Amino acid sequence: MFSGNIKTGSRFKRLSFVPMKKNILSDIAFTVLMLLAATAVSFCFFHFGNKNAANITVMYTLALILTALKTRGYVYGILSALFCVIAVNFFFSYPYFKFNFTLDGYPVTFLGMLAIAIITSTTTTALKRQRMAISEREKALAEADKEKLRANLLRAVSHDLRTPLTSIIGSSSSYLENYAELTDEERTELVSNIKDDSQWLLNMVENLLTVTRIKDNSADKVKKSPEVIEEVVAEAIQRLKKRFPDIRIKVDMPGDFLMLSMDPTLIEQVLINLLENAFTHSGSTEPIDLIIQEKPECISFTVRDYGRGISAEQLPHIFEGQQISSDRADGHRGIGIGLSICKTIIRAHGGEITASNHNLSASGGAQFTFTLPKEKEDMSDA
């Protein structure tokens, strides 16, 4: 039993030693390559051209700096500095191909190159450590954001699944147990309630699949392709009207032909979520405005309703996945998960999404705006 643990520990030590050994070998190979290259070029310059010692110094100094930049630690730079001074003495100082340590300024040359190696190694080591610290911090922040999103989604799903399912079970039980006593209107109402709650659950599942689709791609990025904005908007409205035939949407967009790189399915989901929230939770019977504007570096989409607006307490946290219920009959249906997913999709596209209240009419209302950045090909087409 103990021998098995010892063997396992030894195996882990061997595995951890392999990358370290590869790093050492690569550093040695790079150092030798730089010094051989500097020596070869300097030899050609000196013995087949102008015998100028300044050129030799420049070549070896360049090799020294590159070695200090690319290798790990100080050892390679110090050994390179020692080699450079010895090589200058042996190959490029009279008498050639012999050592002469009595040359004037020889200790100064060695100390100068040694100082260059140590300073460069120190600077690059500090920069590497700083870069690694920034990278680790970015990874930690990204992981914290993912954990926060998971927690928000879990909280939202636990609420949104339980309440509609309870309503479906209650309505179906009433329909089956009291069928004979119910009037036709009461039966129709129960079936309509079951249909509405089932449709809501289906929409929520689509949202969850959307998030899964984003997370399946690396680094939370999405696969973009050039799409006609008018077609994406028309498809989103058409899908929404199948579920809400009474919804009225007024679209205001430029007459020019607009194309933008995006994932059309995900952007359709964002538009559907925002338009559905405006229709379901605003409490207004006025048409919903969908305003699309082209800007130099992005295209903005604004969904504006003329209802009750968003309370001051809810506004700062509206995209965090918290449950925000309306005062209507369907108030059990929170909008937090939908807005949280909208934010995830827009961020994955490199855009931003904001929420605010406006006072363009006596009733005011809520306004959601998101932007999608133009890429180089998009701006060149424009």
Per-residue pLDDT of 16-39, as tens digits, reads 455 666 778 888 888 888 888 888
Q: Are residues 64 and 145 in the same domain?
A: no
Distance CA 92, CA 88 (A): 5
C-alpha distances (whole Å) from 143 to each of 135, 137, 217, 341 are 12, 10, 15, 17
With tokens 């990874």, the residue in question is 139
CA torsion angle 312 313 314 319 (round to 10): 100
- The CATH number linked to 338 is 3.30.565.10
Q: Are residues 265 and 342 in the same domain?
A: yes
Establish whether the linkage from the previous residue to 226 is cis, with ω within 30° of 0. Answer: no
| 3 state DSSP class of 362 | coil
- Looking at the chain, the whole-number percentage of residues with pLDDT higher than 70 is 72
79, 103, 127 - which closes a domain: 103
C-alpha distances (whole Å) from 60 to each of 118, 121, 271 are 15, 16, 62
As a whole number, mean pLDDT of residues 132-150 equals 80
Domain annotation covers residue 245: yes
So what's the pLDDT on residue 289? Answer: 94
Determine the structural domain holding residue 172 and report its residue range.
Answer: 140-381
Amino acid at site 34: M
Q: How many residues does the chain have?
A: 382
58, 75, 103 - which closes a domain: 103
| 3 state DSSP class of 99 | coil
So what's the pLDDT on residue 288? Answer: 94
Residue of 381 and 28 predicted with greater confidence: 28
Give the tens place of pLDDT for each residue, 54-105: 677 778 878 877 887 777 767 777 777 778 777 877 777 767 777 766 666 6
Q: Are residues 153 and 46 in the same domain?
A: no
So what's the pLDDT on residue 249? Answer: 94
Question: Which 3-state string (H, E, C) describes 284-352?
Answer: CCCCEEEEEEECCCEEEEEEECCCCCCCCCCHHHCCCCCCCCCCCCCCCCCCHHHHHHHHHHHHHCCCE
Amino acid at site 349: H
Out of 175-184, 317-326, 335-344, the most confident range is 175-184
Q: Are residues 264 and 161 in the same domain?
A: yes
**Count of structural domains, the chain:** 2
So what's the pLDDT on residue 231? Answer: 93
Closest CA relative to residue 97, chosen from 88, 105, 106: 88
Q: 350, exposed or middle or buried, with CB in 10 Å at 0-12, 13-18, 19+? A: middle
So what's the pLDDT on residue 381? Answer: 56
Q: Are residues 55 and 164 in the same domain?
A: no
Mean per-residue pLDDT of the chain: 77
Q: Are residues 69 and 203 in the same domain?
A: no
| 3 state DSSP class of 28 | helix
Closest CA relative to residue 282, chosen from 312, 253, 303: 303
Domain annotation covers residue 351: yes
At residue 351 the predicted structure's pLDDT band, cuts being 50, 70 and 90, is very high
Q: Are residues 91 and 183 in the same domain?
A: no
Domain annotation covers residue 219: yes
Domain annotation covers residue 120: no
Domain annotation covers residue 359: yes
Domain annotation covers residue 177: yes
Closest CA relative to residue 269, chosen from 196, 221, 190, 204: 204
**Phi/psi of residue 22, each to 5°?**
-65, -40
CA torsion angle 22 24 25 26 (round to 10): 80
Domain annotation covers residue 67: yes
Give the tens place of pLDDT for each residue, 99-135: 766 666 666 766 776 677 677 767 777 777 788 888 8
Out of 49-63, 238-252, 309-323, 337-351, the most confident range is 238-252
75, 103, 131 - which closes a domain: 103
**Phi/psi of residue 91, each to 5°?**
-90, -30
Q: Are residues 235 and 327 in the same domain?
A: yes
Q: Chain-centre distance of CA 285, in angstroms? A: 38
Q: Are residues 146 and 88 in the same domain?
A: no
Domain annotation covers residue 133: no
Q: Are residues 280 and 161 in the same domain?
A: yes
Positive or negative, the Cα torsion across 341, 344, 348, 352? Answer: positive
At residue 50 the predicted structure's pLDDT band, cuts being 50, 70 and 90, is low
Q: Are residues 66 and 158 in the same domain?
A: no
Angle at 153 between CA 147 and CA 154, to 5 degrees: 90
Res. 9: pLDDT tops 60: no
Q: Are residues 233 and 330 in the same domain?
A: yes
Give the tens place of pLDDT for each residue, 163-203: 778 888 888 998 888 888 888 888 898 898 888 888 777 77
Closest CA relative to residue 332, chosen from 209, 175, 212, 167: 167
CB 284 within 8 A of CB 363: yes
So what's the pLDDT on residue 7? Answer: 47
Amino acid at site 256: D
Give the tens place of pLDDT for each residue, 205-228: 776 776 666 655 444 467 788 999
